[in-house]
Amino acid sequence: MFRFQSFDDDCTLEEEEGLGEEEEEIDQFNDDTFGAGAIDDDWQEQHARLAELDELVRDDLPGADDPSSGDLPPAGSNAKPSPLPPPSSSSRLYPDIDERAGGDLAESLTRLILGSDPAIAGVGTASSDRSHLPPKLPGQTPHPSALAGLSPLQLSYQHHQHILHRGPAPLSQINSHSIWENNMGFGPVNSGLVSQKEDKTLMSIIKEVGLPNRPPKLREEGRDLSERVPPPRSSSPVIGSPPVRAVPIGTPPKQPMSQILNQQNNHPSAIHVRASVPMRYPPPFPERLSPNNLLSIANSPLSHSPFPAGVGPVLSQIQRAQMLNSQFHRGPGPPLLQGGIGGFRPFFGQSGPRMGPHGPPLSHAPIRHNTTHLHPQHRRMLNQRMQNRGLGDHVGGRGVGDRKNRDPYSNLMTQREKEWVARIQMMQLQSTDPYLDDYYYQNYYEKMEKRQERDRDNRKEHTTKLITPQVAKLEHTYRPVQFAGSLGKLTVSSVNNPRKMIDAVVTTRSDDEEKREKQVWNKRRQILYTVEKMYSLLLEVQDFEKKFLQTPEHQRDALLEQHKTHTLQLYNSLREKEWDDRVSDEQCLMIMSVRKGKRLISRLLPFLPQPQAAAVIMGIARNLPALAKKDKQDQVLCWLVEPVTGVIQAMSSTSLTDLLQELQGREGQLPLVLQNKFGVTLLYLILSEGERMQSSDPNCQLMDDNRWTELVFSVTRELLKVPSSALSSPLFTPPNLVSLFSRYVDRQRLELLQEKLQITSLSR
């Protein structure tokens, strides 16, 4: 006893410590462990009892229709204040177990002090034909709260039970061999006996050795087993991370979850599920209760309990058991039992059929008591009963209800836990833009709804619709932690705020600059675009010949037509709308300013009809200085020489004169022209052509007006004036220049010219 008292002392000490929030939660667990919840679950104990019960049922089946006897062993076992250790009652009923019970002082004592819920075992034994746990079923009550509800004493006892029940491993198999057959789980008779014997030996050993000194370990065990709380994370700092949770998000709820939920629910809780949420039992009592408080509180409602009739017979049973167990020291048992929870519980521990007499008082007032202190299985039974009652009210789901009633393991997963899982699943459906995240499902669902509306127009029923939570989009900008006065930023990152590696800063230029640049680029792009288009046409034109040869006879006309249109189009693109003859300077200039454009023109020229080609060249000549300037980088004007030559040679005299005029154009153009290779070449070409015309055809009209002569004069003047450095060498020098110049200039100048231009009669 002294030992146990010391445990109690430790408990109180722990409670009194001022702990932080996380630890408070743990402390809360501890409170359940050491305090209020201590009333609750000792599954191993109960399991042992059920095993015994199994024995009982198998052993004296005829005698099993005394449900009271079946109730007793569980009834007494778990109530903290209750003085009903199972061995005692079982000793009365099961003679073979007597020796075990008798020799098991420590066990019964622990049971005594800890107290456990009589109703728990009552769950398993409510009816004689209930399935019984094979000894190896510790998973029956997998509640964290169940584990949490252990006092250190219980834990120690549990530890013993562990040792005990490690033995009968093959039992389960043999037991459950017939499970499918009758769903009863009756096993061979000897199995129970085996366990008994093993228990006995182990317990006797323990008795000899004595209870090991458990207090320091118990704390850890309590922590380890309770709530599945992992050790507080050491590595993740608060900076930049979400707050460390004592219970990570993934853990399932323990039974009194509301407080924890509130603390932990950081996410937006916009979950709208149209399906009705069942009412929770609001705890009228504070969550933390020391056993004394609890008992005192429990005393009051029970004093005017609504089930006076029910309590009576049960109490009598308990009293009976009390008498039997008088040999064991009960201490605070009996007075507590009278008005305490212990008395309350056996009532609920009764079987379904037994509910009959107590039905009426219950039905009119489904009273929700504070069930947090109850054993979870007990609570489950309560819920089940409520549900079943509800079921019976409007739905005749008797079959299902019956089956459920008979299945003692049903509702292992409580409503709360189901909701918890559903909530997590709903969280995964959160979406700020469902049409973005789940387009196909949305469409499918809409179609389905329409179809349903069409089909079920007459019927008013609405299938429940899953309303996924709509979450407002939250912008989480990551602001790296920065200490004042320091250089740089901390690189502390976590899953929720991954590290920002580079501080990319966007620099914007001023508006004006940007506009200008943009304009330039846009224009260039436009030109290139035009050139591209023209190219495609040009290629068509160029391939015409090939195509022409390939196409059959009758289609050739059409092809010809096509060809003509293409060429026309090409030309059109070069000229302005208003001027039919003139090539649009702007357009031409634009195209020529681009290398590609120059190439294009050079390829285009041969295909253009003469007048149009001439016009093009005129345009070029007109704008030669500008073009020359633009061409400085590319130096590709010379591509034009060849086609231009061709065109010039086909030119008429007037057009030639015109061309020369264009070339000379404004004042000062010629020197610039002369500076450019192409210009010079062009000039020479023109001159040589003129000369050729003159020399070949005496009737040429070149000399009809003075233009040609004047122009040539000016050219020569310019040529002589221009310094040699400013004169670029042409691509080639036509041979007849000498003769040309000899016509117009005197010998002296001719010589100068020759020197300058390095033209000799022999040179080419």
Contact assessment for residue 541 and residue 563, using Cβ atoms and an 8 Å cutoff: yes
**Of residues 19, 106, 179, 626, which one binds another protein by CB under 8 A?**
179
- Is residue 270 a contact residue for another protein (CB under 8 A)? no
Closest CA to 121 of 97, 86, 166: 86
- Is residue 560 a contact residue for another protein (CB under 8 A)? no
**Of residues 262, 276, 303, 724, which one binds another protein by CB under 8 A?**
276
Contact assessment for residue 745 and residue 693, using Cβ atoms and an 8 Å cutoff: no
> Considering beta carbons, is residue 468 or 655 the nearer one to another protein?
468
- Is residue 636 a contact residue for another protein (CB under 8 A)? no
> Considering beta carbons, is residue 179 or 703 the nearer one to another protein?
179
- Is residue 399 a contact residue for another protein (CB under 8 A)? no
Distance of closest approach, residue 32 Cβ to another protein, in angstroms: 21
Q: Considering only 55-63, 114-122, 274-282, 508-516, which stretch makes contact with another protein by CB under 8 A?
A: 274-282
- Is residue 626 a contact residue for another protein (CB under 8 A)? no
Closest CA to 756 of 482, 70, 60, 741: 741
> Considering beta carbons, is residue 99 or 437 the nearer one to another protein?
437
Q: Which residues contact 695 (CB under 8 A, 6 or more apart)?
A: 736, 739
Q: Considering only 31-39, 177-185, 295-303, 481-489, which stretch makes contact with another protein by CB under 8 A?
A: 177-185
Query: Left (φ > 0), alpha (ψ -120 to 50) or beta: where does 439 sit?
Result: alpha
Distance of closest approach, residue 512 Cβ to another protein, in angstroms: 58
> Considering beta carbons, is residue 373 or 380 the nearer one to another protein?
380
**Of residues 162, 267, 272, 418, which one binds another protein by CB under 8 A?**
418
**Of residues 239, 270, 424, 650, which one binds another protein by CB under 8 A?**
424
Between residue 154 and residue 173, which ones bind another protein under the rule CB under 8 A? Answer: 172-173
**Of residues 167, 215, 278, 480, which one binds another protein by CB under 8 A?**
278
Q: Tell me the three-class secondary structure of 297-308, residue by residue.
A: HHHHHHHCCCCH
Q: Considering only 94-102, 118-126, 369-377, 421-429, which stretch makes contact with another protein by CB under 8 A?
A: 421-429
Which class for 114: exposed (0-12), middle (13-18), buried (19 or more C-beta within 10 A)?
buried
Q: Which residues contact 348 (CB under 8 A, 6 or more apart)?
A: 119, 122, 378, 381, 382
- Is residue 177 a contact residue for another protein (CB under 8 A)? yes
CB atoms within 10 A of CB 358: 19
* CA gap 531, 525 in Å, rounded: 10
Closest CA to 563 of 584, 582, 539, 581: 539
Tokens of residue 340, six digits? 């305490």
Residue 410 CA to chain centroid, in angstroms? 35
**Of residues 189, 239, 270, 277, which one binds another protein by CB under 8 A?**
277
Contact assessment for residue 491 and residue 501, using Cβ atoms and an 8 Å cutoff: no
Closest CA to 621 of 596, 653, 595, 647: 647
- Is residue 273 a contact residue for another protein (CB under 8 A)? yes
* CA gap 438, 737 in Å, rounded: 81
- Is residue 421 a contact residue for another protein (CB under 8 A)? yes
* CA gap 469, 425 in Å, rounded: 11
- Is residue 440 a contact residue for another protein (CB under 8 A)? no
Which x/- pattern, by CB under 8 A, does the window 233-252 give for another protein?
A: -----------------x-x
Q: Considering only 6-14, 402-410, 479-487, 582-590, which stretch makes contact with another protein by CB under 8 A?
A: 402-410
Residue 698 φ/ψ, nearest 5 degrees? -65, -15
Helix axes 86-93, 308-324, angle to 10 degrees: 80
- Is residue 135 a contact residue for another protein (CB under 8 A)? no
Question: How many residues sit in the footprint of another protein (CB under 8 A)?
Answer: 40
- Is residue 261 a contact residue for another protein (CB under 8 A)? no
* CA gap 337, 83 in Å, rounded: 8
- Is residue 434 a contact residue for another protein (CB under 8 A)? no
Contact set with another protein (CB under 8 A): 134, 136-137, 139, 142, 172-173, 175-177, 179-180, 185, 250, 252, 273, 275-278, 404, 407, 409-413, 417-418, 421-422, 424-426, 429, 445, 463-466
